[in-house]
Amino acid sequence: MAVTRRNILKNATARTQYIAGVKALKQEDSGQTTGNFGIPGPSIMISTYDLFVIWHQRTMMTMTPPNNPSGRNAAHRGPVFHPWHRVMLMILESNLQRVLNDATLGLPYWDWAADGNNTPAKQKKSALWKKTCMGGSGDPVTIGPFAFKASDPASWRVRVEADVAGNLFSANRGLRRTLGAGTPSLPKKVHVDHALDLTPYDKVDWDASETEAFRNRAEGWNPEDPLAQHWMHNRVHVWIGGDMSPGTSPNDPVFFLNHCNVDRIWESWLSQNGRTYVPGNSAGAFLKGHRIDDPIASPLGGTMTPRQVLDVSATYVYDALP
């Protein structure tokens, strides 16, 4: 039976379950160590939650094809952006269900466009940032369930991060956020509407420069474009700042709330446009990893393809679509 994904600011049960679940996964030994991944420094335990941090960063460093000038990688700057992250969310959701022993748990989303309709000052005072939800900003964050407490080894700690070259290294520090410092405002509902009006899903050049297709508008590249203020997913990362800025952004649990909302927007687009996806299998090798029947290449596993995740209604549904 399909689970329902709900708005974290409108459903207390979803909020409580998510917080409890990610904290449990953060404490759970995955059976892997930093040494297993070739991460320098003392070999330390990798939690199940931290596996997602490593997977995301490593995938960002996997260029498709290698050394391409557009920066297209196995999860970003190309058509597979939405399917890859959909698979990642599904795997996290199944782990939350497992660790909490609740098969009805649905991953919650943060409708950041609703907050974006408020003034910049009010955006930073959203209920999302209260101590009963995700906690506030700071270096480190000091309130809420993901606050850092030096005297408490069980408090939320960033254990894996990356340098500017993308190389992972072990860490032991608190979570960082700089709400509103990188860009003054979150995307607004009108920006979501503009993206949903765009077809096709993606088009030539299949990278971060495209301005007239849904995927890149939702992903949020090409900041020099006149419509840059409309571009969404990346803008949310930049607005939150801190640990949401680099490729190790899953260090902040808000990462998954953002991507769940991006997935919700894609689900709305799919429901309006016949669950279509491009490029097809006949596209050139320079799009390997992004074609409709290519395995989704990442340490998450290579058994699913974009085609297989165009209709997920048997697995989950959203309480409301934009």
- Tens digit of each residue's pLDDT (9 = 90 or more) over 262-312: 999 999 999 999 999 999 999 998 999 999 999 997 665 667 999 999 999
CA nearest to 115, candidates 183, 14, 187: 187
Strand 45-47 to 3-5 pairing: unpaired
What's residue 145's pLDDT?
98
Res 300: pLDDT:
59
Q: Answer yes or no: is pLDDT of 19 > 70.
A: yes
Write down the pLDDT at residue 246. Answer: 97
Nearest to 230 by CA among 270, 273, 198, 259: 198
The CATH fold assigned to 3-318 is di-copper center containing domain from catechol oxidase (1.10.1280)
**What integer pLDDT is reported at residue 222 of this predicted model?**
65
Encode pLDDT of 133-166 as tens digits.
999 999 999 999 999 999 998 999 999 999 999 9
In contact, 47 and 25? CB cutoff 8 Å: yes
Residue range 233-256, pLDDT digits in tens: 999 999 999 999 999 999 999 999
Cα 182 to Cα 85, 137, 244, distances in angstroms: 24, 13, 11
The pLDDT assigned to 229 comes to 57
Q: Residue 299 in 3-state DSSP?
A: coil
pTM (two decimals): 0.96
Q: Evaluate whether 265 touches 322 at the Cβ level (below 8 Å).
A: yes
Distance (Å, rounded) from C-alpha 279 to C-alpha 276?
Answer: 10
Q: Return the DSSP state at 148.
A: -
Percent of the residues in the chain that have a pLDDT greater than 90, as a whole number: 87
pLDDT value at 199 more than 70: yes
Q: Is the C-alpha dihedral spanning 77, 83, 89, 92 positive or negative?
A: negative
User: What integer pLDDT is reported at residue 211 of this predicted model?
Assistant: 81
Judged against a pLDDT cut of 70, whether residue 112 lies above it is answered with: yes
Most confident segment among 197-201, 208-212, 282-286: 197-201
Report percent pLDDT > 70 for the chain: 96
Q: With 60 as the cut, is the pLDDT of residue 226 above it?
A: no
Three-state secondary-structure class, residue 285: helix
User: Residue 223: pLDDT above 90?
Assistant: no
| pLDDT grade for 69, boundaries at 50, 70 and 90 | confident
Q: Provide mean pLDDT across the span 58-82.
A: 92
